[in-house]
């Protein structure tokens, strides 16, 4: 019913229900949600994950008035241990740590309980980024039939992913105003309400223009990419990844998400001679250490510094 109700509300046939905050606990969570949206600039999907952890914690340890002053470090440890049995440990620990810091600032707790949240063991840069070979990327693009409206949309989406290395959410959030055809650049809304401008390659511009001219139906929203079945709502980040997975199935590859194409874009830039600083600028990493993971797949440079294998004694 959700798509139907969304469409009817957009046409004014059905009124939008007004949220009623009935309890003190709900008021705490509503204020926390407002903080995440305005101060932290979280996107809806991340905001929901953070609020879900906070809601579970408040329901378990908060008083009827929403007061958390009686919570102890032991309560925090017990909560993390219990929730990590059936949830992602990183998500639980990060969500609870952010909520407890907010509680301290808002005066809901008496001390800094965020320090009681245990760190999840992880080894940064310990894995290799998962990429697709250049011939597999070409196969994905060739699998999109541009003669159809859906194929034109899917070809434009995959082209944006493999050429600019955008995240799925950034592709979903692209609006018509973000494409500056005169200056040849693209505005990208990234994490934390950050907006960056990237050059618009010719092939990316041609793919988007073909979709807008021959495929995109008449929509009320400003997003570049939309669903092809009514209601014609903007495509979600999950929908962008679904486009990539469907292309993988068409060419007989193991299904991967949109983020694999982001890694593949970085790998291709390395292969054609770009350095890590340039790759970090295209991928819009805030720290060079984040881009350093791609040094592991720069086999050409690594071969020059590799030490010979010691001879058997």
Domains in the chain and their CATH numbers?
20-116 (1.10.150), 134-255 (1.10.443.10)
15 near 9, Cβ under 8 Å? yes
pLDDT tens, 234-247?
A: 999 899 999 999 99
pLDDT tens, 97-111?
A: 999 999 998 888 888
Per-residue confidence (pLDDT) for residue 127, from 0 to 100: 66
Distance CA 112, CA 73 (A): 9
Q: Which residues are catalytic?
A: 167, 191, 259, 262, 285, 294
Per-residue confidence (pLDDT) for residue 301, from 0 to 100: 62
* Peptide bond just before 165 cis, omega within 30 deg: no
Regions of the chain with pLDDT less than 70: 16-22, 63-66, 122-128, 192, 297-306, 312-313
Q: Residues 174-209, buried b or exposed e (16+ Cβ, 10 A)?
A: beeebbeeeeebbebbbeeeeeeebebeeebbebbe
Listed in sequence order, the residues at least 6 apart from 162 whose beta carbon sits closer than 8 Å to its beta carbon are: 137, 140, 141, 261, 264, 265, 268
Share of the chain above pLDDT 90, in %: 47
CA-derived radius of gyration, the chain: 23
Per-residue confidence (pLDDT) for residue 281, from 0 to 100: 87
What is the chain's length?
313
Per-residue confidence (pLDDT) for residue 47, from 0 to 100: 86
Per-residue confidence (pLDDT) for residue 96, from 0 to 100: 94
Tokens 């350093």 identify what position?
292
Tokens 């040849």 identify what position?
184
């Amino acid at each position: 019913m959700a798509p139907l109700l969304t469409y009817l509300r957009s046409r004014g046939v059905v009124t939008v229900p007004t949220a009623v905050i009935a309890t003190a606990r709900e008021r705490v969570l509503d204020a926390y949600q407002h903080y995440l949206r305005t101060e932290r600039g979280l996107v809806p999907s991340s905001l929901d994950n953070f609020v879900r952890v906070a809601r579970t914690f408040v329901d378990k340890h908060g008083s009827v008035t929403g007061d958390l002053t009686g919570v102890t470090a032991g309560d925090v440890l017990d909560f993390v241990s219990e929730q990590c049995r059936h949830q992602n440990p990183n998500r639980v620990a990060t969500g609870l740590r952010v909520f407890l810091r907010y509680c301290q600032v808002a005066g809901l707790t008496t001390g800094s309980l965020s320090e009681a949240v245990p760190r999840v063991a992880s080894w940064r840069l310990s894995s290799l980024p998962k990429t697709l070979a250049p011939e597999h990327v070409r196969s994905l693009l060739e699998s999109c039939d541009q003669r159809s409206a859906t194929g034109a949309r899917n070809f434009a989406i995959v082209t944006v992913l493999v050429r600019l290395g955008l995240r799925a959410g950034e592709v979903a959030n692209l609006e018509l105003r973000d494409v500056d055809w005169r200056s040849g650049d693209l505005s990208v809304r990234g994490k934390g309400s950050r907006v960056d401008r990237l050059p618009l390659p010719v092939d990316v511009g041609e793919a988007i223009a073909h979709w807008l001219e021959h495929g995109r139906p008449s929509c009320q929203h400003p997003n570049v990419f939309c669903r092809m079945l009514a209601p014609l709502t903007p495509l979600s980040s999950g929908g962008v990844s679904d486009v990539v997975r469907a292309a993988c199935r068409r060419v007989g590859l193991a299904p991967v998400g949109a983020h694999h194409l982001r890694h593949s874009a970085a790998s291709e830039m390395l292969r054609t001679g770009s350095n890590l600083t340039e790759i970090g600028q295209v991928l819009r990493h805030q720290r060079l250490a984040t881009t350093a993971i791609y040094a592991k797949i720069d086999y050409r440079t690594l071969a020059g510094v590799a030490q010979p294998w010691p001879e058997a004694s």
